[in-house]
Chain A
Amino acid sequence: MMMSQAEEPRAIRVRDLVVGFGPQVVIDHLSLDVRKGEILGLVGASGGGKSVLMRTIIGLIPQRSGTIEVLGRPVGGVEDRRTQGIAGQWGILFQQGALFSSLTVRQNVQFPLRENLVLSEELMDEIAIAKLEMVGLAPEDADKFPAELSGGMTKRVALARALALDPQIVFLDEPTSGLDPIAAGEFDTLIATLQKTLGLTVFMVTHDLASLNTVCDRVAALADGKIVAIGPMHELLQSEHPWVRAYFHGKRSQMLQPQAG
C-alpha cells in the first residue's frame, strides 16, 4: 500500500451520500471507495440499507445529497443520459436473477449485445454460448426458459447476462443466497476466476461469511447508515465496533475464528 490514496485508481467513489424515504434516513452521509480490480464485500443488517446503497450507486434510487462516481463519471437517476452511458460498463446480478421470463437463456444473454452492438446472428450466438460456458453452463441449456432453471442455474445465467458486454464493474446482490454450500462455493470460485480472467471490479452485497472469507479482497460493514469498518477480513475481525463484533463473533461466525487467529 505504498500508493497514496489520491493516486489509487477508483472504480466507485461515493462521498457524503444521503438516501432516505419520507422521514426515514437509510444512508446517512456515507463515503466509500471501491478500488479497481478488487472484490469488495458489503455486509450489514437485514433491512439496514445494503441493497439501497447498491441500488443508489447504480441509479435506481435517487439520492438526497452527496456524489457518486463510477469509473470517474458522475451517476444520476436512471433517466439520466450520463447513467445510460455508463450502463455498458457495469453488469448487475439481481438477487432473484431478474431474467426476462419471456426470453430463452440464450436470448437473455444476447439481450444487452443486441441492444448495444451491431453483430451478426452467428457471432452473437457464439458469444452467448461462450459466456454460458464461462459461467459453467452447458450449451444445451441455452434454449431453456428461465422458468425451467434451478436456483443455481438462474444465478449463473444472470451472471452471464451481467457479463455479456464485458463490463468493468459487476454488482452482485446476495449472489450465493438460496444456494447450497457446494453450489455457493462453486459460485464463489466462479466469481473469483472470472474476476481474474476478465479483470473485473466486483461489488458484492452478501451475508455469506464463507464467501466474505474466501473471495473478498476487502469487506465493508454498513451500520446506522454509515460504513463503520472497511478492510481485509482479518482487520474486520479485530474491529471494536459493537455491531461488527456481534456480526463476526456471533455463534454462526465461530467457523471464522481459527483463520482469524
Chain B
Amino acid sequence: MERINILASEPLLTATSAGELLELRARGSWTASNGTILESLAVAAVPAIDRATTIKLDLADLSELDTVGAWLLEKLSRRAVSAGHRADVSGVGENYAGLIEEIRQVNRHNRLPPAARNPVVTKLDKIGRSASGMTEDVAVFLQMLGSLFVAVLGVLRRPRSLRITSAVYQLYRVGWQAIPIVVLITFLIGAIIAQQGFFHFRRFGAESYTVDMVGILVLRELGVLIVAIMVAGRSGSAYTAELGSMKMREEIDALSTMGLDPIEVLILPRVVALICALPILAFIGSIAALYGGGLVAQFYGDMSPAIYIARLHDAISVTHFKVGLIKAPFMALVIGIVACSEGLRVKGSAESLGRQTTTSVVKSIFLVIVLDGLFAVFFASIGL
C-alpha cells in the first residue's frame, strides 16, 4: 500500500486516435505537485474526447497517482460518458484501484451555481441591512441599559449579591492602572494648550488670559473628554475582548446554567468600576493638565507659579469643575454599556472578536463625543 517514490517523472497524456476510437495513455506522476501541468494536459485532451465516440483510458504507465490526478482522469472519462460515449479505463495498478474507485463516487451532486445578482439590488440590499442594523444597535444598547437597571434593582434588594471583590479588582484595572498614562497624556495636552495660548495671545498682549482659557477648557471639556476617550480605547476594548472570548469559550453559557445572571456577575461589576473610575481619572487628568499648563506658563510664558495660581483662582469657579465632572459617570456608563454589549455579540470566530472590539471602541468614542455635545447644550441652556 505504499507509494513508491521513483524519480518523480514528468506527467504525460498521449492521445492516438483511430477513427471514432481515441486511446489516451497517461504516464508519469499524476500528483498534486504537478497540478498545473496536469490541468493543461486534461484541458488539451478535451476537444479530441468530444470528437471520439469511444475512449480508452490506459493507466498502466502511471508511476504515481493521487487525488488530484485521479480526479482529472475521472473528469475526462465523465465528460465522454455524459456526452453519451463509451469510456473504458484499463491498466489500473493494484495500488490505485481503491483511490480510483473512491474518486468515481465523488462530485456526483450537481450544485447550482449561485445566481448572479443585480448590482443595484445588491447595493439597496446593503443599505437596507445597515439601516436595520442601526435600529438593532439602538435596541441592543437599550436592552443592556435595561438589564443593568434590573441588576441594580436586584442588588438594592439583596445588597450582598453585588460582587464587591470583582468590582474592586476591575476598579484596580481600569482606574489605578490607568493613572500613569492618563496623567502623561493630559499633562501634555495641558502644556500644549498653554503654549498655543501664550503664542497667539501674546500678539494682543493678552497673555494672562491664557490661564483662563486653560482653566476653563480643561475643567469643563477637555479633561473629561480626553480621559473618557482614553478609557474607551484602553478599558472598553479590554471589556469587549474579555467578554467576547468568554462568550466564545461558552463561559457565559456556563454561568447562566448555574443559575447566575451574567449581567449581574460579569457586567455590573465592570460598569460599576468604570463609573467609579472615570470621575477619579478625569479629576486627576484635569489636575495634571493644569499642572502642565503651569509649567509652560513658568518656562515659556514667564509667569511665576504664584501668579498662575492666583489667575487660575480668579478665572475658574467650582461650577466649571462640577460641569466637567458631572459628565464623567454618564460617559462611563455609555462606554461600559457599549463595550459589554459588543462583547456579548461576539460569535464563534476570531474574526468576529476583532470586529466587535473595533466596533466597541469606535462606537463608544463616537457616543462619548455626542454626549459631551448634548451636555454642552444642556448646561448652556440652564446657564451653568
Give the residues in chain B near A199, CB-CB below 8 Å. Answer: 1-3, 95
**Contact between chains at A168 and B3 (CB < 8 Å):** yes
**Contact between chains at B349 and A126 (CB < 8 Å):** no
Give the residues in chain B near A201, CB-CB below 8 Å. Answer: 2
CB within 8 Å of A: which B1-53 residues: 1-3, 31-33, 35-36, 39
**Contact between chains at B67 and A130 (CB < 8 Å):** yes
Partner of A117, one of B36, B72, B101, B351: B36
Q: How far is it, in angstroms, between the C-alpha of A166 and the C-alpha of B72 when the chains are bound?
A: 14
A12 within 8 A of B: no
**Contact between chains at B349 and A37 (CB < 8 Å):** no
Partner of B71, one of A88, A120, A130, A165: A130
**Contact between chains at A197 and B99 (CB < 8 Å):** yes
**Contact between chains at B67 and A198 (CB < 8 Å):** yes
**Contact between chains at B2 and A36 (CB < 8 Å):** yes
How distant is A132 from chain B, measured CB to nearest CB, in Å?
A: 9
B107 within 8 A of A: yes
**Contact between chains at B71 and A126 (CB < 8 Å):** yes
How distant is B297 from chain A, measured CB to nearest CB, in Å?
A: 53
How distant is A16 from chain B, measured CB to nearest CB, in Å?
A: 27
Which residue of chain A is the closest to B98 with respect to CB atoms?
A197
B111 within 8 A of A: yes
Q: How far is it, in angstroms, between the C-alpha of A134 and the C-alpha of B101 when the chains are bound?
A: 11
Which residue of chain A is the closest to B353 with respect to CB atoms?
A101
Q: Could you mark each residue 163-199 of chain A with 1 if its beta carbon is under 8 Å from any beta carbon of chain B, else 0?
A: 1011010000000000000000000000000011111
Q: How far is it, in angstroms, between the C-alpha of A120 and the C-alpha of B31 when the chains are bound?
A: 15
**Contact between chains at B103 and A130 (CB < 8 Å):** yes
**Contact between chains at B106 and A130 (CB < 8 Å):** yes
**Contact between chains at B35 and A118 (CB < 8 Å):** yes
Most buried by B among A118, A131, A197: A197
CB within 8 Å of A: which B85-127 residues: 95, 98-99, 101-103, 105-107, 109, 111
B350 within 8 A of A: yes
Q: How far is it, in angstroms, between the C-alpha of A163 and the C-alpha of B106 when the chains are bound?
A: 15
Q: How far is it, in angstroms, between the C-alpha of A151 and the C-alpha of B259 when the chains are bound?
A: 26
Q: Give the bracket for the number of chain A residues in contact with chain B.
A: 35 or more
A102 within 8 A of B: yes
Partner of A146, one of B66, B101, B103, B349: B349
Give the residues in chain A near B32, CB-CB below 8 Å. Answer: 113, 116-117, 165-166
B146 within 8 A of A: no
Which residue of chain A is the closest to B34 with respect to CB atoms?
A117
How distant is A11 from chain B, measured CB to nearest CB, in Å?
A: 9
How distant is B7 from chain A, measured CB to nearest CB, in Å?
A: 14
**Contact between chains at B36 and A101 (CB < 8 Å):** no
Q: Could you mark each residue 124-143 of chain A with 1 if its beta carbon is under 8 Å from any beta carbon of chain B, else 0?
A: 00110111011000110000
B56 within 8 A of A: no
Q: How far is it, in angstroms, between the C-alpha of A37 and the C-alpha of B36 when the chains are bound?
A: 28
B315 within 8 A of A: no
**Contact between chains at A129 and B107 (CB < 8 Å):** yes
Give the residues in chain A near B36, CB-CB below 8 Å. Answer: 117-119
B313 within 8 A of A: no
How distant is A92 from chain B, measured CB to nearest CB, in Å?
A: 17
A123 within 8 A of B: yes
How distant is A120 from chain B, measured CB to nearest CB, in Å?
A: 6
Partner of A166, one of B2, B31, B105, B107: B31
Binding site for B on A (CB under 8 A): 9, 36-37, 88, 101-102, 113, 116-120, 123, 126-127, 129-131, 133-134, 138-139, 145-148, 163, 165-166, 168, 195-199, 201
- Could you show 10 A-B contacts with beta carbons less than 8 Å apart? A101-B349, A102-B349, A119-B35, A119-B68, A139-B107, A145-B349, A147-B348, A196-B1, A198-B66, A201-B2
The 5 nearest A-B residue pairs measured at CB: A147-B348, A101-B349, A166-B66, A102-B351, A37-B2
